[in-house]
């Protein structure tokens, strides 16, 4: 079990204090300058300094409760009502561990938040739509690090939207194979469908906030980054966005129909359920606790709850879809951190990590040929250091580095544009190094929320990162000219190409492009092929 951070009573009280219920406004007593008329209502935000936040806007016609549980999101409908947009919506049900699990949770969780500068603009602004990570089983828009006040204060020329989606058993549980499961054909990918509905709402309403519906960039980290790469393969999705920023996420974070069925059956057995009707009777708190105990990231580093390559909503072979050009008209910025899996080794401790990693290696080996197993063994033997360092390197390669490069390769071969990066600053926390998710405080401008890294990164460096993200969202090119670069020096970010394979090394004190062959991000012979086995 992962040693979870002790959560103080003060922390729980702080998160709960953020909650409030947005109510309908039935009189004329509200600030008209903060009201925005949308299709499904007029929403009144709150202003702080020069930033207006609109929180808890529903993007569905019906919340996924009661008869809508395990059903596709219902489209939003016209509404002439006026509503407060002062508070975040509820967090999706999830097991303990993530900050969002301290917040009020509920199945009625499909809301989004809009952040914009108060000053009016003559031109429509680029829009950045954030999709949170958390292994598809934890997370939420209420996470303090996703508060966009700092981001918009620094970058008032964009609008940011943060979108919620269902998690774990409520968002990614195949049910159609059960005796009464025919009425639940979409249950295995509801979380991705929720994201799509949120983007549809943005497309049809963001202009009222001053945003440009034809210049939307979706971005996310880990499961959020993976979601961005998967949404790009959903039929009809490209009208909702034109660019993707994927931080440490790829189509690797998916599972097959067979793997989904096995997972569902294990949950059903633990709950003594045989049908969906049985499952409907289980209290959300019990279902959530059970799934967390068996497969939770914070509980056992399960890594088994993923969207499904069902061949219907998502392709059975996402890599093939990319190779065939399914997303070639989408501009990409994709990358990963130098030591991704170290964050999990640091959380588990050496003994716990070795147990987890050895079990994963053994299970993977059963899928592979003798030649492939020999290549993996050769790679492990070539990594210096202790056993935990060898396996963190292996899984960093297979789960993050190789997929980022493979995505860059396939998009480029198909005729698309890709900018690729490697994030290298290291944490002060033992073992973590440049681990998974430590860049998030930098992306959102929250140096005070740098618990994962144990320190705040250089302010000029983080501001440069944010400026690159914004510049990509605005223009499709993250390069910075000297006049907009925070340190006054131009940053030319080359496109990934098949000959030089250049990546931007996001070094804390020396951001620079480098050939992949010099940095050796991926082992082309001994780990690159492992992406075909995905993450299970």
How many other CB atoms are there within 10 angstroms of residue 482's CB atom? 10
Q: Cα–Cα distance between 351 and 386 in angstroms, integer?
A: 12
Q: Cα–Cα distance between 347 and 32 in angstroms, integer?
A: 48
Q: Which residue in 82, 78, 116 sits closest to 210, CA to CA?
A: 116
How many other CB atoms are there within 10 angstroms of residue 342's CB atom? 28
Residue-wise DSSP of 167-190? -HHHHS---TTSTTGGG-TTGGGH
Within its chain, how far is the Cα of 416 from the centroid?
22
Q: Cα–Cα distance between 319 and 193 in angstroms, integer?
A: 20
How many other CB atoms are there within 10 angstroms of residue 366's CB atom? 7
Residue tagged active-site, from 101, 176, 222, 227: 222
Q: Cα–Cα distance between 175 and 334 in angstroms, integer?
A: 33
Direct distance between the N- and C-terminal alpha carbons of the chain, in angstroms, rounded to an integer: 19
Element (H, E) at 356: helix 342-365
Q: Cα–Cα distance between 54 and 116 in angstroms, integer?
A: 9
Helix, strand or coil, per DSSP, at residue 13: helix
222 an active-site residue? yes
Beta bridge partners of 211: 125
Q: State how far the alpha carbon of 417 is from the alpha carbons of 234, 472, 528, in Å.
A: 19, 12, 21
Q: Which residue in 427, 415, 433 sits closest to 451, CA to CA?
A: 427
Residues carrying an active site annotation: 222
């Amino acid at each position: 079990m992962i040693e979870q951070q002790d959560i103080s009573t003060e922390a729980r009280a702080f998160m709960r204090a953020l909650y409030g219920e947005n109510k309908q406004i039935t009189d004329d007593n509200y600030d008209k300058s903060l009201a925005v008329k949308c299709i499904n209502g007029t929403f009144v935000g709150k202003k702080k300094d020069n930033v207006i936040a609109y929180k808890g806007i529903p993007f569905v016609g019906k919340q996924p409760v009661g008869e809508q549980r395990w059903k596709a999101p219902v489209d939003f409908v016209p509404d002439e009502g006026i509503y407060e947009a002062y508070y975040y919506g509820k967090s999706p049900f999830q097991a303990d561990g993530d900050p969002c699990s301290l917040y009020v949770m509920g199945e009625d969780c499909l809301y989004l938040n809009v952040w914009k500068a108060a000053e009016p603009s003559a031109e429509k602004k680029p829009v950045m739509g954030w999709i949170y990570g958390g292994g598809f089983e934890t997370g939420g828009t209420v996470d303090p690090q996703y508060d966009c006040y700092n981001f918009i204060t620094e970058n008032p020329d964009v609008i940011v939207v943060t979108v919620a989606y269902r998690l774990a058993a409520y968002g990614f549980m195949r049910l159609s194979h059960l005796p009464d499961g025919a009425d639940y054909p979409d249950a295995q990918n509801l979380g991705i469908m929720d994201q799509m509905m949120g983007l549809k709402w943005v497309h049809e309403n963001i202009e009222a906030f001053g945003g440009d519906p034809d210049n939307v960039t979706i971005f996310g980290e880990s499961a959020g980054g993976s979601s961005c790469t998967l949404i790009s393969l959903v039929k009809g999705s490209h009208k909702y966005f034109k660019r993707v920023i994927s931080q440490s996420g790829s189509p690797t974070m998916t599972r097959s129909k067979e793997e989904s069925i096995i997972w569902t059956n294990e949950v059903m057995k633990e709950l003594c359920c045989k049908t969906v009707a049985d499952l409907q009777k289980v209290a959300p708190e019990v279902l959530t606790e059970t799934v967390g105990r068996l497969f939770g990231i914070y509980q056992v580093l399960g890594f088994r709850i993923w969207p499904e390559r069902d061949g219907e909503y998502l392709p059975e072979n996402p890599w093939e879809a990319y190779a065939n050009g399914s997303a070639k008209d989408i501009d990409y910025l994709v990358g990963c951190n130098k030591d991704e899996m170290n964050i999990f080794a640091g959380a588990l401790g050496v003994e716990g990590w070795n147990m987890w990693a050895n079990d994963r290696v053994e299970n993977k080996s059963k899928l592979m040929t003798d030649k492939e197993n020999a290549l993996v063994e050769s790679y492990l033997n070539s990594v210096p250091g202790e056993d935990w360092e060898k396996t963190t390197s292996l899984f960093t390669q297979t789960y993050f580095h190789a997929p980022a490069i493979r995505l860059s390769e396939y998009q480029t071969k198909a005729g698309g544009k890709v900018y690729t990066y490697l994030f290298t600053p290291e944490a002060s926390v033992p073992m973590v190094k440049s681990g998974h998710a430590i860049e998030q405080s930098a992306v959102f401008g929250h140096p005070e929320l740098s618990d994962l890294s144990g320190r705040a990164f250089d302010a000029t460096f983080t501001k440069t990162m944010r400026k690159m993200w914004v510049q990509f969202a605005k223009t499709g090119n993250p390069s910075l000219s000297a006049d907009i670069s925070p340190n006054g020096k131009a940053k030319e970010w080359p496109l990934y190409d098949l000959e030089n394979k250049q990546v931007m090394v996001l070094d804390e004190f020396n951001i620079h492009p480098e050939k992949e062959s010099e940095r050796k991000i991926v082992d082309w012979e001994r780990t690159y092929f492992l992406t075909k086995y995905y993450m299970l």
